[in-house]
Structure 1
Amino acid sequence: MEIWMSLLLACCGLTLGDRTSASSAYNELTLDPHEKFNVSWTLDQDSITFTVTCETTGWVGLGFSPSGSMVDADIIVAWVADDGDSYLLDMYATGNTLPTEDTLKDVTLISASEANGVTKVEFRRKLDTCDESGDNIITSSTTHLIYAYRTSDPENNLFSSRDYHEFTNRGTKSVYLLDSKTRSKPSLPDDIQTFDITARNFSVPAEDTIYYCDFQAPPDLDEVHHVVGFEPVITEGNEGLVHHIIMYACYGLTEELVGNYSKIGSLCTAAEMPEFSSFCNAIVMGWAVGGGTVYYPEEVGLPIGGRNGSAASYFQIEIHYDNPGLLDTFVDASGLRFFYTRTLRENELGVIPLGLIHGIAVPPGVEKFRSEAYCDESCTNQWIPEEGINVFSFFLHTHLIGRAIHVEWYRDGQNMGLLAFDDSYDFNFQEMRMMENTHKLLPGDSLKITCYYSSDTRDNVTLGGYSTLSEMCLAFLSYYPRQDLAYCTSFPGIVFPSDPVYDALNLNTSGTGGLAGLRKISNWTSELVSTLQDGIDQTFHFSKCTRENGTPYNLSSHLINPIGYPAGERVEERHCPSDMIKDHQKAAENDVEKSKPAETVEQQNKNSATFNGLCFFSVLPLAFVMLY
């Protein structure tokens, strides 16, 4: 059976214009490993209010970064002086150097206090301040929060290089600030029980990339029950080893067939896998690094138990271990914990795996390069019922050089927009994301996944594969009601040496296996990069459309022409009055006065009448050394 990455299902597809439909959704997060720096936030239409609580009597800093570093970060620093006055600075950074204070202040300080060794600061800003030179737009993509703090206030309340936060008092953490529904816990029945499916004390080999597989049965239940959620169970000390866990449902697999299987867990290779693994094709859940507990919507459940054969009789667990140190000392019992109930939900869970592993090729030293795959209408006509299916969540996945992922939705040849996306993807933060609203797919609808990579740190071509240093392009869409589907995806013609792109690149592909021949190119000029990108964009794809038992659907055509998938225009709905943009631009062009002290809350209030209520602060000499 083909190995697919553990990503989850997922959600969202919001544009800037539909950031949140829920007012005052509450969220909270601990940012540092010592649990001293905490942040909570509430959403209210086009604004977001943050509360920072930190065990310090000095200044605190919170920033919004595109990458997790100080580069292009939007930073807020605040403190409470010994006399009780409160100070807040609205700043931005262009690198790991001294940030600059914004000429126009787009942050409102609501309150600040210091008591019992704890500083607490509450402030508000708009999701889009319309300040393109100093503030980042908060969207439904991944936000990289950076934080820092110091144990003392700035001398004379003038923030300078003397106020360095110390090496251990800073860090970064990724979060979906606008996905309040992802973190919400629904009401659960009183009869919730749990069971675990984990590795059975597996001695991890001293290899860089290991895939472990095992087959285990859920509890033996006379009546059908529903799984309504799950959470990771990671062996202590192995947090950096376990990269992902994916669970396949095995339908129709009997105890008699499994009975002769004597191995307790093994490698997921053709030689090690038993024949009955062919029963286990349907991906139903998974976890990846950075993810947490997942609860399904109240109308969705995964059936287990009963005697009618409709529920999964076994699960195949697949664990990807990332062991770059080649250590042989790890023993692992990680896996997933299932929450289940006898209170049945209205619908059964299904998952659409979309994307590709083999067929990816990214040349080195390129800032932006893309790969694509399709769930074509010829396939969806086979398995989506007339009344449609309801997609409610998504999980997106690439490896280390992935930077953004888009899933587009098509109907009758028209681009319906983005079903799911993340424009600032973080490999170390992968989580199932619940959509604010479900999306109904009909028979004949199509999907396209596009993954964007940045290979500026690579010296050779990066190909698709299972190693962390190789690449993937995957999305897992969860939906209901469940249909007879294992895969709806495609693979590109460039996997074959006869693809025209190799002639265009002047490669002799004889004996090189097509993609492997790209490693012959030592000097990737811009012309060669463009030739490869054009070849990938134009090559025909071959549909992979299979049932849960692994057999393919009988399609009218297995060929997919990318021309039938026009790219949609990404319309970022913004609400920026032209006079406000001009005010920001004019302020950015003005010389900044460098000698005034920061204002107290009282002074802020005197100046808050300008620029549509956005507080206007004076500017002081800054020397903020590396928030991160």
Structure 2
Amino acid sequence: MARALLFQLLLLTALAAPSQGNHLGPTSRLRYSRFLDPSNVIFLRWDFDYKAEIITFELQVRTAGWVGLGVTNRYTRVGSDLVVGGVLPDGNVYFSDQHLVDEDTLEKDGSQDAELQRLTEDAVYTTMRFSRPFRSCDPYDQDITSDTVRVLAAYGPDDTLKLHRERTFVKSIFLLQMIQPDDLHVPEDTIIHDLELTDFLIPEDDTTYACTFLPLPIVSKKHHIYKFEPKLVDRSETMVHHILVYACGNASTLPTGISDCYGADPAFSLCSQVIVGWAVGGTSYQFPDDVGISIGTPLDPQWIRLEIHYSNFHNLPGVYDSSGIRMYYTSQLRKHDMGVLQLGFFTFPIHFIPPHAESFMSYGLCKTEKFEEMNGAPVPDIQVYGYLLHTHLAGRALQAVQYRNGTQLRTICKDDSYDFNLQETRDLPYRVEIKPGDELLVECHYQTLDRDFLTFGGPSTINEMCLIFLFYYPRNNISSCMGYPDIIFVAHEMGEEASDSMEGMMAMNNVEWTPENIKKAEKACKEAQQTVIIKTIDEIVENTTGWVPEITPTPRGPCSESSGGKVEPQDKAPAGFRTAPVALSGSSTATPRRLPLAALLLGQGAVSWLLATLQSRV
């Protein structure tokens, strides 16, 4: 009887203890997937538990040899982490957490922070499924963040762990996607409407901005656009840099035909309120189930400006294009009408970036205190649910920071590993509220080590931009809120004479761009007074001024416990705050779990008490 009681107590203790590690088990459906190589040999599925900060990967490769998956950075593969595994001819498996000590050599990590869930091999594929923490304490493990992640995949023809460059691939992926399109509602009465150019002959110039004005769908009652996707033509697909759809005010007088958006005819630059946008690397985007773009009411726009940016760097002749945006709309109304607010550095040549800069920061300020006056009606609190980041080739990182009453409130969105070739609309993990009177600051980080000339703000791909588009509800009439620094002040700080903005801009060509002067110019741009330009859908423009506030870096969460010890000053807590998943050893594919310390102590205490009780009865 006593032995039975002891066994039951131990069993209950074990069952009551919460398990550690990934909540996505070996058979759980993984919501996201992507091919990682041009030949579609390497297929990746993944999913994550955002609260537990655990991500699960499943790598499937057409090989009978080893496979590997990890994370690398923009500049070098040295130091990249790579989780490798395979199945030996005798059926035993091998699996380990490794890193690259040079471009070709792997070395096993001292701390094994990846947990194997399944590793199989059949006549076609080797499939490896494992989980790992977003951030372990092992200095050799790259963090999984809400930034763009450069995923490294590799495999071999046999079980010899040797890197082959022709079998090693890097792909930029936004891993921590908050919403999976398959989980969203698709209305049964969906109607498709295309906004596109028709047989447009792409000029042989490096950069072309082609614009035309098109009507939105004519409907007898209110509908919501709930999804959009790019329409790209095969031959011209690589030339299309971005596509934007701008809503026009209903009082606007619009031109006909197709012309240069920012050329001799200023009418083709009318309409500046973005409603949807796509850029290189992006895919389709479906809004959350409670928001949509309203059409069909007297307050809704009836026409749009379609803008397509072409980059014909090879100056190819005779290429015709019919690209555009496909919209999906429905009569099943959503709860909220959405809008888009454009933030950043006002795009024109006062925005400059020195050559040979390891790092250069630019800032664009937005002050919302005039929003209500310009909107013509009270502006409800803005609820931001998504965003799109945009720079050109020199961009390395962006962030939007929110301030209230002079105090930094939060970082709304950021990407410290921005990739020009992966620009897509992203959902926030939670909705951010912006109140009238808040200030919003966009910071863009650039690198121009490969340039011998000044880079100016402008429309060309070799120019630069610093823009963040916030997707929000409920919609108001404000289309953009962007800032730029006093260039005359900057010129004077650099020891140059300037009496107007044009002279200030031209004076930058006279500066000798040493590392010291680069930092001096960055400091001057940050300390200069900013002019803030606010624009409405009806092209009403108001200016105000302000100063760039300081940005306090957001502290990172603690790393998961391991024997490594990756602890840095900006961490919220020292290493060991959470327990890492247990790595699998040997050839078994089972998934052992470690009981929490509290459960073990509880069990030990219960056993001691029970043994003492039993002994007292003997």
Which residues of 2 match residues 170-249 of structure 1 at below 5 A? 170-181=168-179, 183=181, 185-249=183-247
Query: Is the CA contact (8 Å cut-off) linking 1:395 and 1:432 kept in structure 2?
Result: yes
Residue identity matched to 1:518: M
Unaligned runs of 5+ residues in structure 2 are 1-21, 569-583, 598-618
Which residues of 2 match residues 282-431 of structure 1 at below 5 A? 282-305=273-296, 308-356=297-345, 357-358=347-348, 359-380=350-371, 382=373, 383=375, 385=378, 387-431=380-424
Which residues of 2 match residues 464-479 of structure 1 at below 5 A? 464-479=457-472
- Count of aligned pairs: 552
- Which of these residues, 474, 477, 481, is aligned with residue 481 of structure 1? 474
Query: Is the CA contact (8 Å cut-off) linking 1:398 and 1:474 kept in structure 2?
Result: yes
Q: Distance in 2 between matches of 1:395 and 1:83?
A: 50
Query: Is the CA contact (8 Å cut-off) linking 1:409 and 1:446 kept in structure 2?
Result: yes
Q: Distance in 2 between matches of 1:244 and 1:480?
A: 24
Looking at CA atoms only, which structure, 1 or 2, has the larger radius of gyration?
2
Alignment CA distance shift 1:94-1:185 (3 Å): same
1:566-599 per-position Cα deviation (integer Å, ceiling 9, x unaligned): 322321121445x8455999xxxxxxxxxxxxx9
Query: Is the CA contact (8 Å cut-off) linking 1:224 and 1:311 kept in structure 2?
Result: no
Query: Is the CA contact (8 Å cut-off) linking 1:90 and 1:105 kept in structure 2?
Result: yes
Taking CA–CA contacts closer than 8 Å with sequence separation of 6 or more, which of the two structures ends up with the larger relative contact order? Answer: 1
- Which of these residues, 149, 153, 177, is aligned with residue 147 of structure 1? 153
Query: Is the CA contact (8 Å cut-off) linking 1:379 and 1:488 kept in structure 2?
Result: no
Query: Is the CA contact (8 Å cut-off) linking 1:69 and 1:146 kept in structure 2?
Result: no
- Which of these residues, 550, 560, 576, is aligned with residue 546 of structure 2? 560
Which residues of 2 match residues 17-96 of structure 1 at below 5 A? 26-44=31-49, 45-67=52-74, 69-93=76-100, 95-96=102-103
Alignment CA distance shift 1:59-1:527 (3 Å): same
Query: Is the CA contact (8 Å cut-off) linking 2:118 and 2:589 kept in structure 1?
Result: no
Partner of 2:612: none
Q: Distance in 2 between matches of 1:251 and 1:419?
A: 29
Q: Distance in 1 between matches of 2:180 and 2:359?
A: 29
Alignment CA distance shift 1:222-1:386 (3 Å): closer
Tell me the secondary structure at the aligned position of residue 235 of structure 2: coil
1:165 aligns with 2:172: no
- Which of these residues, 248, 251, 255, is aligned with residue 250 of structure 1? 248
RMSD between superposed Cα atoms in Å: 3.0
Query: Is the CA contact (8 Å cut-off) linking 1:492 and 1:536 kept in structure 2?
Result: yes
Q: Distance in 2 between matches of 1:583 and 1:411?
A: 34
Partner of 1:615: none
Deviation at 1:381, TM superposition (A): 5.0
Query: Is the CA contact (8 Å cut-off) linking 1:63 and 1:147 kept in structure 2?
Result: yes
Alignment CA distance shift 1:575-1:326 (3 Å): same
1:492 aligns with 2:485: yes
Tell me the secondary structure at the aligned position of residue 518 of structure 1: helix
Deviation at 1:215, TM superposition (A): 0.8
Q: Distance in 1 between matches of 2:545 and 2:251?
A: 33
Q: Distance in 2 between matches of 1:174 and 1:153?
A: 27
Deviation at 1:234, TM superposition (A): 0.6
Tell me the secondary structure at the aligned position of residue 418 of structure 1: strand
Q: If the length of structure 2 is used for normalisation, what is the TM-score? A: 0.83
1:470-521 per-position Cα deviation (integer Å, ceiling 9, x unaligned): 1111000011111111211212211xxxx13222323345896322332233
Tell me the secondary structure at the aligned position of residue 220 of structure 1: coil
Unaligned runs of 5+ residues in structure 1 are 1-19, 586-598, 613-628
Alignment CA distance shift 1:347-1:476 (3 Å): same
Alignment CA distance shift 1:333-1:48 (3 Å): same
Q: Distance in 2 between matches of 1:399 and 1:543?
A: 22
Query: Is the CA contact (8 Å cut-off) linking 2:96 and 2:108 kept in structure 1?
Result: yes
Q: Distance in 2 between matches of 1:406 and 1:584?
A: 24
Alignment CA distance shift 1:327-1:517 (3 Å): farther
Tell me the secondary structure at the aligned position of residue 501 of structure 1: helix
Residue identity matched to 2:546: I
Q: Distance in 2 between matches of 1:213 and 1:303?
A: 23
Tell me the secondary structure at the aligned position of residue 525 of structure 2: helix
Q: Distance in 2 between matches of 1:227 and 1:251?
A: 18
Partner of 1:626: none
Query: Is the CA contact (8 Å cut-off) linking 1:27 and 1:180 kept in structure 2?
Result: no
Which residues of 2 match residues 497-576 of structure 1 at below 5 A? 499-509=488-498, 513-521=503-511, 523-553=512-542, 558-562=544-548, 565-576=549-560
